[in-house]
Amino acid sequence: MSKVLVTGGTGYIGSHTVVELQASGYEVIIADDLSNSKKEVLQGIEKISGILPTFYEIDICNKPAVEALFDQHQIDAIVHFAASKAVGESVEKPLLYYKNNLISLVNLLEIAHGRNASLVFSSSCTVYGEPDKLPVTERSPIKPAISPYGNTKQIGEEIIRDVVEATQIQAISLRYFNPIGAHDSVAIGEYPQGVPNNLVPYLMQVAAGEREQLSVFGDDYSTPDGTCIRDYIHVVDLAKAHVIAVDRLLQSKNDKPYEVFNLGTGKGYSVLELIKTFEQVTGVKLNYAIVDRRAGDIEKVYADTTFANDVLGWKAGKELDEMLLSSWKWQQSLG
Ligand code: NAD
Ligand code: WQD
């Protein structure tokens, strides 16, 4: 049984990926410092898979602690989710982001280098900035980063590319578009800390009566209804792509170059389309108001997923209505 270290494995995307890796027969070890997640997520994972993953509460920036973990386990692959991800906070505290997101990556690459472990890296569609042409392919230009957070993903990808070039390490970067939804069992899902920054968690809290009103940030963009367009993807579809990426790395020892894949559905929806779809599928009327644009927002971005479809044999299965029902079911389960 191959062993996979999942850093950030008690987080939102990490926990869903752990479940899919376990279902595919991998032994999963989680390392998370619980800076943005709770230990109880482990019980949620066990509820779904019947397997309580081995857990280490460690900061990946603490290299001796990570080395000690590797001394105890023969790790075949690392799926590296652990990072800070709040765009606004990264503007206020850039060094926190450069330190946490880049030192952790460098540590893992140094350790992986000595131990023949492969790496899957969580990247983001944020690397494309405001694209000139849609949909974006993996060859679309990388734009100057809008935030320190986005820059950590661009620099992270560059570090990996250089290290793969110079060593025997194999790696895949996955550029996620906008993950939403939760596991169908509602045993795991997303727990936003404080006021949610992202559209769907905020919308769900308004629909649940926990917040007064959803602000729609701008309706004067050059899109059909004036609101921004994104490519929303269900988190379980996303999680499954990680299993395929790990399979691919482990099946092809040292004969593959560094690869990068877009993970989206390939379809773009506007904020107002998303709100309308939510109201239709749930029957819940949402209180929202159009307000000013949010600084730094991209007008429209959605993925060309041909490369992931053809090379990984992966395709997102869930449509927007199913994704929103999934998020709503999760929200309601929170009581
Ligand atoms: P999350 O915050 O739910 O999960 C990240 C986990 O990493 C948390 O459990 C946190 O406690 C842990 N962590 C952070 N720094 C750590 C450190 N130094 N050592 C150990 N653990 C640490 O976030 P998520 O939404 O699941 O995102 C996972 C990854 O995907 C991140 O790298 C994020 O940048 C990337 N990503 C997320 C999105 C998104 O919209 N959610 C989109 C694109 C990319
Ligand atoms: C989606 C749309 C908002 C909240 C962020 C990160 C990006 C990536 C994905 C990690 C936009 C609008 C939002 C609200 C609104 N993450 N909106 N009212 O901006 O695509 O990207 O998450 O890598 O790096 O920046 O996602 O969910 O914040 O916004 O109208 O209360 O919803 O303007 O058009 P975004 P989001």
- pLDDT, position 254: 62
**Residue with the nearest Cα to atom 4 of ligand 2?**
199
Concatenating the DSSP letter of every residue in 276-291 gives HHHHHHH-PPP-EEEE
pTM of the prediction? 0.98
- pLDDT, position 252: 81
Cβ 83 under 6 angstroms from ligand 1: yes
Question: For tokens 């006021």, what's the residue?
Answer: 195
| Nearest ligand 1 atom to alpha carbon 178 | 40
**Residue with the nearest Cα to atom 35 of ligand 1?**
122
Alpha-carbon distances, residue 321 vs 76, 211, 266, 286, 318 (angstroms)? 37, 22, 15, 15, 8
How would you class 309 by CB atoms within 10 Å of its CB: exposed for 0-12, middle for 13-18, buried for 19 or more?
middle
User: Could you tell me where the DSSP H helices lie in 85-196?
Assistant: 87-92, 94-98, 104-115, 148-166
Give catalytic status of residue 149 as yes or no.
yes
Ligand 1 pocket, mutate which of 15, 35, 93, 197 (most atoms under 8 A from CB)? 35
Alpha-carbon distances, residue 162 vs 114, 144, 271 (angstroms)? 16, 19, 38
Ligand 2 pocket (Cβ < 6 Å) reads 85, 87, 124, 126, 150, 178, 197-199, 202, 214-217, 228, 230, 271, 294, 297
Q: What are phi and psi of 3, to 5 degrees?
A: -105, 130
Query: Checking phi first, is residue 143 left (phi over 0); if not, alpha (psi -120 to 50) or beta?
Result: beta
| Nearest ligand 1 atom to alpha carbon 179 | 40
- The CB density around residue 203, as the number of other CB atoms within 10 Å, is 25
User: Could you tell me where the DSSP H helices lie in the chain?
Assistant: 12-23, 41-49, 63-72, 87-92, 94-98, 104-115, 148-166, 199-207, 235-251, 271-282, 306-307, 320-333
Ligand 1 pocket, mutate which of 10, 17, 34, 36 (most atoms under 8 A from CB)? 36
| Nearest ligand 2 atom to alpha carbon 178 | 9
**Residue with the nearest Cα to atom 15 of ligand 2?**
216
* Among 26, 149, 202, 221, the one annotated catalytic: 149
- pLDDT, position 245: 98
- The CB density around residue 236, as the number of other CB atoms within 10 Å, is 21
- pLDDT, position 147: 96
**Residue with the nearest Cα to atom 23 of ligand 2?**
124
| C-alpha of residue 224 to centroid of ligand 1, in Å | 33
How would you class 179 by CB atoms within 10 Å of its CB: exposed for 0-12, middle for 13-18, buried for 19 or more?
buried
- pLDDT, position 257: 84
| C-alpha of residue 126 to centroid of ligand 1, in Å | 15
Residue 272, both tokens: 């107002």
- pLDDT, position 253: 58
**Residue with the nearest Cα to atom 28 of ligand 2?**
198
**Residue with the nearest Cα to atom 13 of ligand 1?**
82
* Tens-digit pLDDT string for the chain (335 aa): 999 999 999 999 999 999 999 999 999 999 999 999 999 999 999 999 999 999 999 999 999 999 999 999 999 999 999 999 999 999 999 999 999 999 999 999 999 998 999 999 999 999 999 999 999 999 999 999 999 999 999 999 999 999 999 999 999 999 999 999 999 999 999 999 999 999 999 999 999 999 999 999 999 999 999 999 999 999 999 999 999 999 999 998 567 789 999 999 999 999 999 999 999 999 999 999 999 999 999 999 999 999 999 999 999 999 999 999 999 999 999 98
